[in-house]
Chain A
Amino acid sequence: MSDALIAETITITGYNGDTIEAYSARALDESPRGGVVVIHHMPGYDDPSKEITRRFAAHGYNAVMPNLYWREAPGASPDDAAATARAQGGVPDERLVGDVAGAAAYLKALPNSDGKVGTIGYCSGGRQSFLAAVSLDLDAAVDCYGAFVVGNPPEGMPLKVGPIVDKTPNLSCPLLGLFGEEDKYPSPEHVAELEEALKAAGKTYEFHSYPNTGHSFFSVNRPAYRVEAANDGWERIFAFYGKYL
């Protein structure tokens, strides 16, 4: 079995039939394998997020990361695109679901796809990974510290999203949640409320909350990085996808 991979910028068909940019990292080996849709964090379609995408390919998956800010800022640098998109209140939920659906369709159409697709998202992408999993037919979803799955944004914050925990009964696949105990959004109370909803709906889930860890602990280029939590989290992610994809 070859460990060769290819990583490149491509286009996919997203929400409303729009053509959007995406970063694809794929295993070249022809044997069937699962696919992963990487949902980037609020700071955008940046180099560390592309590195995460390649990491999945290096572990044998086909991965693709849609540029969620392509419509606001085609061709712009990731930081300029993120600034433009955030000034407009972020990515509308309906559009996110359409873009993830397009990314999943792209992965399923690859010659070495086993027909299974999972999602993973960080920060705002954590909520979006859950949103995709309650909206689309997926095989596994990972939520890395996504805020506002539970709870409303604080008053005065013009964030155009609301809680989606009420959609838990629609969850189409097992969910892995990775959180920091010192995070405020989502707080341990938010995580507990989501866990209760998952239990009540009889869903398969696995949650891990790390001590002495706040938001964004997977971000290797930020001071929030926590090596022990991130290392354990990556092991959990690959074990989870190994089981379900």
Chain B
Amino acid sequence: MCTYLTEKIAISGSAKGASGWIKVTDGSVYLDHPVHAPFGHTLNIDFLAPERGPSGRVAVELSQDSARALVKAIEAVLDAAPPGLE
């Protein structure tokens, strides 16, 4: 089914897409049908530059297991980083 289940967040950083690096300010995290990944539903993340319109987007589609592994890896790296880094 089409879930439309979505979390939207404000982010600060850059992402590299088809047109090169872009500054991204918004993120959409959602579980729904992928465009390309070979699964029925995937955890999708859009890194967005809304001022660039719909094409201002760097997208990933992950299996649900790999999305959970990614969350753990991100938290592990952030937790291991020395305090005070900016």
Contact = CB atoms under 8 A, between A and B. Distances in A.
B3 A215 contact: no
Q: How large is the interface on A (under 10, 10 to 19, 20 to 34, 35 or more residues)?
A: 35 or more
Contacts of A82: 35
Contacts of A86: 2, 4, 6, 30, 32
B59 A157 contact: no
A112 interface: no
B6 to A, nearest CB: 6
Contacts of B66: none
Given A80-B54, A80-B55, A43 B5 contact: no
Interface string B35-48: 11011100010100
A72 interface: yes
Interface residues of B, number: 24
Interface in A71-108: 72-73, 76-84, 86-87, 89-90
Nearest to B36: A79
A222 interface: yes
Given A147-B1, A157-B5, A159-B3, A83 B59 contact: yes
Contacts of A43: 33-35
Nearest to B7: A158
Contacts of B38: 222-223
Given A43-B35, A86-B32, A157 B4 contact: yes
B43 to A, nearest CB: 14
B53 to A, nearest CB: 7
B28 interface: yes
16 contacts: A43-B34, A72-B54, A76-B53, A79-B35, A86-B2, A87-B30, A87-B46, A123-B33, A147-B1, A153-B3, A158-B5, A158-B6, A159-B2, A184-B1, A223-B38, A223-B39
Interface of B: 1-6, 8, 28, 30, 32-36, 38-40, 44, 46, 53-55, 57, 59
